[in-house]
Chain A
Amino acid sequence: MSDQFDQNLRDHLHHEAEEIHEFPRRLRGRIREGITPRARTRMAPQLALAGALVLVALAVLVARNPQVIIKDVRSTITQLIQPSPNPTPQPFACSDRSGGSNGLVTQLTGIRVASHVTDGYDRIVFDFTGGVPYYDLTRQESAEFVRDPSGQALTLEGSAAVKLVFRDTDVASGVQADMTPRLTSVREIAQLGDFERILSYGVGLSSSRCIRVQELSGPSRLVVDVAISPSASATAAPTPLPTQPAATDLGPFTCQDRGGGAGGGPTMQLTDVRVAHQPGYDRIVFEFAAPAGGTARVPAYALSRQASPNFVKDPSGQPVTLLGSYGLRVVFQQASGAGTYSKSRDIVASLPVVQEVEQLGDFEAVLSWGAGLSRESCIRTLELANPTRLVIDVQTP
Chain B
Amino acid sequence: MLMDPALGRVIERCRDGDRDAFEEVVDRYGLQLLRTARLILRDPALAEDAIQETFIKAWQRIGTLREEDPGPWLTRIAVNESISSYRRRHRFQALTERFGRLGGGKHGVSSDQRLDLAHALDQLTPEHRAAVALHYYQDLSVEDTARALKVPVDTMKARLKTALRRLRELTGSEEATA
Contact = CB atoms under 8 A, between A and B. Distances in A.
Interface of A: 1-2, 5-6, 8-10, 12-14, 16-20, 22-24, 27-28, 30-32, 34-35, 37-40, 42-43, 252, 254, 256-260, 300, 302, 304-306, 311-312, 314, 329, 331, 361, 366, 368, 381
A256 B43 contact: yes
A365 to B, nearest CB: 12
A13 B105 contact: no
B56 A5 contact: no
Interface stretch (B69-77, B88-96, B151-159): B88-96
B92 A259 contact: yes
Contacts of B167: 5, 9
Nearest to B104: A304
20 contacts: A1-B177, A5-B168, A9-B117, A9-B136, A16-B118, A17-B35, A20-B34, A23-B31, A27-B30, A27-B34, A27-B48, A27-B51, A34-B52, A35-B19, A43-B16, A256-B42, A258-B43, A258-B45, A302-B102, A331-B96
Nearest to A26: B48
Given A30-B48, A31-B51, 4 more contacts: A6-B164, A20-B31, A300-B92, A381-B45
A391 B95 CA distance: 24
A302 B19 contact: no
Given A9-B136, A9-B167, A16-B39, A31 B17 contact: no
A120 B16 CA distance: 34
A10 B136 contact: yes
Contacts of B19: 32, 35, 37
Q: How large is the interface on B (under 10, 10 to 19, 20 to 34, 35 or more residues)?
A: 35 or more
Interface string B14-43: 001101001100110011001110110011
Kindly list the 7 A-B residue pairs having the minimum CB-CB distance in the complex, ordered from nearest. Answer: A304-B104, A38-B17, A17-B35, A13-B137, A23-B30, A35-B59, A34-B56
B44 A31 contact: no
B173 interface: yes
B132 interface: yes
A18 B30 CA distance: 13
Contacts of B98: none
B36 A314 contact: no
Nearest to A305: B104
B108 interface: no
Contacts of B52: 27, 30-31, 34
B93 A302 contact: yes
Nearest to B174: A5
Contact of B137 (A8, A14, A304, A314): A14
A382 B59 CA distance: 27
A35 B43 CA distance: 24
Given A24-B48, A306-B103, A31 B26 contact: yes
B176 interface: yes
Contacts of B137: 10, 13-14, 17
A312 B26 contact: no
Contact of A259 (B22, B59, B89, B164): B89
A92 B89 CA distance: 43
Contacts of A30: 48, 52
A254 B177 CA distance: 35
A9 B117 CA distance: 7
Max chain A Cβ within 10 angstroms of own Cβ: one of B35, B46, B101: B101
Given A5-B168, A17-B39, A31-B26, A368 B101 contact: yes
Contacts of B30: 23, 27-28
